[in-house]
Structure 1
Amino acid sequence: MYIPTEFQEVRPETIQALIQNYPLACLVAQTVTGLSAIHLPLLMKSDTVLLGHLAVASDWHLAVPEGQEILCVFQGENAYISANDYPSKLRDHRKVPTWNYQVVHIHGTVSYLTDQKSKLAAVGMLTKKQERVANGEAAWKMSDAPKDYLLEQLAYLAVLEINIHKIEAQSKLSQNREAQDFDAVIEKLHGRGKHVLADNMSDLKSI
């Protein structure tokens, strides 16, 4: 991924937060019939491993064999930035629109686990994490489902692990703009309801 120096994201906590808050990744791989992509929620099992699961019926695990390198793309907040958002435009009109965004690319090799123990562990980790966010104290638990039904559903899944080789992250948040324009973009984003992106820009001012 091309990343201009001013947009390089190197803060580990920011990268981890993006993956955690926007877990639905686009996984891209080269197959014998061309490029193939699949969308899966993933979580960081450790600093070096991503974890997820996929439907066996998708056949993606057959088209993308174990050990093959894949790319996982996590897309965070993003928004259109109008040239009219910059106060400096009034001086010379030498401004054009752009797009602000945050994204993480993870390169790694894929492996699959199909034993029942691995499936239970993986689904348990993913479910517990998302249920805590969605429902708090009222979180659904795997034990809420009848055991025979749960095992029946697990039969349709395969666990996917990605051993991470490289992480690239970009926060394109108007860092290349003068202070007045930068602050104006934050204000405009708040006005358009893009509060998270605006707050992420504000965080840069404390670095």
Structure 2
Amino acid sequence: MYTPRDFVEARLPVLHEAIRAHAFGTLVTAGEGGIEATHVPFVLARDEGPLGTLYAHVARGNDHVSRHSGEVLAIFMGPHAYISPNGYPGKATHHREVPTWNYIAVHAYGTPETFTDPARLLDLLARLTEQSEHDTGQAQPWKLSDAPMDYVAPMLKGIVGIRIPLARIEGKWKLGQNRPVEDREGAAELLSQSPGDNEQAIARAMRST
């Protein structure tokens, strides 16, 4: 990921929080068969290894990971927003401004291992369910144990677990840090007038970075 110095985010807790907040990521592999990508929800074990460990699962028919060896990339895309020159004070005088796009993104790398042990799969699915029920604000969170085991057990035969101990992790917080303060504030103010969640999130991030 091309990351100019102004946009680098290297603090591990901040990177972890971004992964956790945007847990539906893209798993990318590259090998003799070319580049492949799969979109899956991840669970992050923050304290498992120096940089943390990612867990996910795919259908057994999806041999995306098993057909490749070596390092994989997991991409987590945070909020993003178009930045109109209308937010920059200079636009009204010299007009020497152009649009851009601000965003938050995390790239996480590691060598994956797969597993099919039912106990490990159950643990992964329980953690993923708990995370997802919490994130969606369910009044009565559903638990994996709410479903009969004789119903769940056959389904485990149809999935493969993926574990990725992280070897490196990169963050890019492109939030106008290379612009004058008045430009950042003007752009953030313009974004804050939008009803969109992404625009509101980027406005807040620009003001807090």
Instruction: Say whether the fold is shared (TM-score over 0.5).
Output: yes
| 1:12 maps to 2:17 | no
| 1:28 maps to 2:32 | no
Q: Report which stretch shifted further, 102-111 or 53-62.
A: 53-62
CA spacing shift, 1:61–1:12, aligned 2, 3 Å: closer
Q: Distance in 1 between matches of 2:19 and 2:90?
A: 35
Q: Distance in 2 between matches of 1:2 and 1:10?
A: 14
Following TM superposition, the consecutive aligned residue runs of length 4 or more in structure 1 with deviations greater than 3 angstroms are none
C-alpha distance after superposition, 1:115-167 (max 9, x if no partner): 11110111111111111222445000111111111111111111101111111
SS in 2 for 1:35: strand
* TM, length-normalised to structure 1: 0.92
1:192-203 pair list within 5 angstroms? 192-193=194-195, 194-203=199-208
| 1:162 maps to 2:164 | yes
Q: Distance in 2 between matches of 1:64 and 1:123?
A: 24
Structure 1: stretches of 5+ with no match in the other structure: none
Q: Distance in 1 between matches of 2:146 and 2:9?
A: 41
SS in 2 for 1:151: helix
Q: Distance in 2 between matches of 1:149 and 1:172?
A: 46
Q: Do the aligned residues in 2 keep the contact of 1:72 with 1:107 (CA within 8 Å)?
A: yes
Match of 1:51 in 2: 55
Q: Distance in 1 between matches of 2:71 and 2:58?
A: 17
Q: Distance in 2 between matches of 1:49 and 1:152?
A: 27
Q: Which amino acid aligns with 2:142?
A: W
* TM, length-normalised to structure 2: 0.92
Q: Distance in 2 between matches of 1:13 and 1:23?
A: 15
SS in 1 for 2:96: coil
Q: Distance in 2 between matches of 1:175 and 1:149?
A: 52
Match of 1:139 in 2: 141
1:1-207 pair list within 5 angstroms? 1-46=1-46, 47-65=51-69, 68-193=70-195, 194-204=199-209
Structure 2: stretches of 5+ with no match in the other structure: none
Q: Distance in 2 between matches of 1:61 and 1:180?
A: 47
Larger relative helix fraction:
1
Q: Distance in 1 between matches of 2:76 and 2:114?
A: 21
Q: Do the aligned residues in 1 keep the contact of 2:87 with 2:188 (CA within 8 Å)?
A: no
**Would you say how many aligned residue pairs link Structure 1 and Structure 2?**
202
Q: Distance in 2 between matches of 1:180 and 1:102?
A: 21
Superposed displacement of residue 189, structure 1: 0.9
What RMSD in Å do the two structures reach over aligned CA positions? Answer: 1.3
Q: Distance in 2 between matches of 1:73 and 1:61?
A: 15
Q: Do the aligned residues in 2 keep the contact of 1:32 with 1:63 (CA within 8 Å)?
A: no
The percentage of aligned residue pairs carrying the same residue is: 34
Superposed displacement of residue 87, structure 1: 0.9
Q: Distance in 2 between matches of 1:62 and 1:52?
A: 14
Q: Which amino acid aligns with 2:106?
A: V
SS in 1 for 2:164: strand
SS in 1 for 2:45: strand
